Amino acid sequence: GSTGAVHDEL
């Protein structure tokens, strides 16, 4: 399924 990762680094 979709993890929908949030990437918090630039």
Partner 1 sequence: MNIFRLAGDMMHLFSIIVLLLKINATRSCRGVSLKTQELYAIVFVCRYLDLFTSFISLYNTTMKLIFLLSTFTIIYWMRFHKVIRVTYDREQDTFRYQFLILPCFLLALVLNNEFSAMEVLWTFSIYLEAVAILPQLVLLQRTNNIDNLTGNYVFLLGSYRALYILNWIYRFMTEPNYRQYLVWISGIVQTIVYIDFFYYYIRSWRNNEKLSLPA
Contacting positions for partner 1 (CB under 8 A): 2-10
Longest dimension (CA), the chain: 25
Backbone conformation region of residue 3, classed left if phi is above 0, alpha if psi is from -120 to 50, else beta: alpha
Amino acid of residue 9 = E
